[in-house]
Chains A and B, each alone.
Chain A
Amino acid sequence: MDINIEDVGKGKKVSLSGEIDMHTSPELRKALLKLTKEKISPIIIDLKNVSYMDSSAIATFVEALKSMMSYKGSMRLCNLSPRVQEIFAFAKLDRVFTICKDIEDALSR
């Protein structure tokens, strides 16, 4: 898994690629919690190049979102594959996260 973080307005765009599984999600957790500690908002997560994502990845996003609630930050997930989107909908996580079609959509919110 690769993590690339860049500035977008007041927030940050986190572009992820490769597989996010139980081996790699601790690295993602570290990166996201560093951003939430700095009270960054919005955090836009680009999943376009993610080939596989397991429940530890989803739990990591949930944990980061939870820590953003203290400063009313916004996390936007974009470019979800249809399969991941289906899992998010099934777990009702599409009501918890702001799900965006692509980066343009995420930036316009």
Chain B
Amino acid sequence: MQNESAITIKNLITRYGDKLILKDLSFEIPRSKITAIVGGSGCGKSTLLKHIIGLLKPASGSILVGGRDIVAMNERELNEFRRRIGVLFQGSALLNSMTIEDNVALPIREHARLNEATIKIMVKMKLDLVGLSGFDDFFPAQLSGGMKKRAGIARAMALDPEMLFFDEPQAGLDPITAAGLDELIMKLRDIFKMTLVVVTHELHSLFTIADHIIMLDKGELIFTGTVEQFKFSEHPKIKRFISRQVEEDKYCPEDYFNIITAD
């Protein structure tokens, strides 16, 4: 039987200098489901994502993908691992000097020895998948924000990855375009049975697409479980997050005094 967990994180600790960023995180990301990583700004969501995709090394802990610890991988092994995943970065990270077709074809040309005719068909299939048929010859600057995200997804899908990661995909999109993107993410789960991980703080999108939720608060894991469990959680920070309540005062008077009088 296939392991139900696609990624297992054990005792992950990260520091920037003396500052503890991720505080001993342990959780699992289920296979063929959409997992949302949520939390307020600066809680460590994007940092966590960068660790899971092998862009950052933690101070300690392990990240097991398919039974292999990516923390212990050398650069060559990491490159092989990255070939099996797709990432949509916040700004879509398209190359502005290239057409959409060339942007999507780039990873295929880099990693495979395929005939150009085959690549052209593959790219057209990916663009059709994300609803961008006919935009092959456009440049990124000629596309709207939502279309750029779709083109970014087509490129992330270029090598048929087993897992796709999204860093705040709805950021900067109007609600209708964001809803279209949510629909596309769900389609990728349903049709391709992919494991999808979405960093987000958009509540509407979260409750629309997520099967599983991981919530961080100041680098600590405060929740891991299903959407239903999340909705009915009694954890005060989760309740505040769902009801969009402003955080209580961060500091007690002593802390504040120490901050403003520090050398």
Contacts and interface: CB of A to CB of B under 8 A. Distances in A.
Interface of A: 21-23, 25-26, 29, 54-56, 58-60, 62-63, 83, 86-87, 90-91
User: Of residues B118, B126, B187, which shows the largest number of chain A Cβ atoms within 10 Å of its Cβ?
Assistant: B118
Given A22-B111, A26-B115, A55 B122 contact: yes
27 contacts: A21-B160, A22-B111, A22-B112, A22-B159, A23-B112, A25-B118, A26-B115, A26-B118, A29-B115, A54-B160, A55-B122, A55-B125, A56-B114, A56-B122, A58-B125, A59-B118, A59-B121, A59-B125, A60-B118, A62-B121, A63-B118, A63-B121, A83-B193, A87-B191, A90-B187, A91-B125, A91-B129
B133 to A, nearest CB: 11
Nearest to B121: A59
B164 to A, nearest CB: 14
Number of chain B interface residues as a range: 20 to 34
User: Of residues A21, A23, A56, which shows the largest number of chain B Cβ atoms within 10 Å of its Cβ?
Assistant: A56
A107 to B, nearest CB: 28
B138 interface: no
B246 interface: no
Contacts of A83: 193
Contacts of A56: 108, 112, 114, 118, 122
B76 interface: no
B252 interface: no
A26 B113 contact: yes
| B interface majority secondary structure | helix
Interface of B: 108, 111-115, 117-119, 121-122, 125-126, 128-129, 159-160, 187, 191-193
A104 to B, nearest CB: 29
A80 to B, nearest CB: 14
Given A56-B122, A63-B121, A25 B114 contact: yes
Contacts of B126: 55
Given A29-B115, A56-B118, A59-B125, A22 B108 contact: yes
B103 to A, nearest CB: 16
Contacts of B129: 91
A29 B122 CA distance: 14
Contacts of B125: 55, 58-59, 62, 91
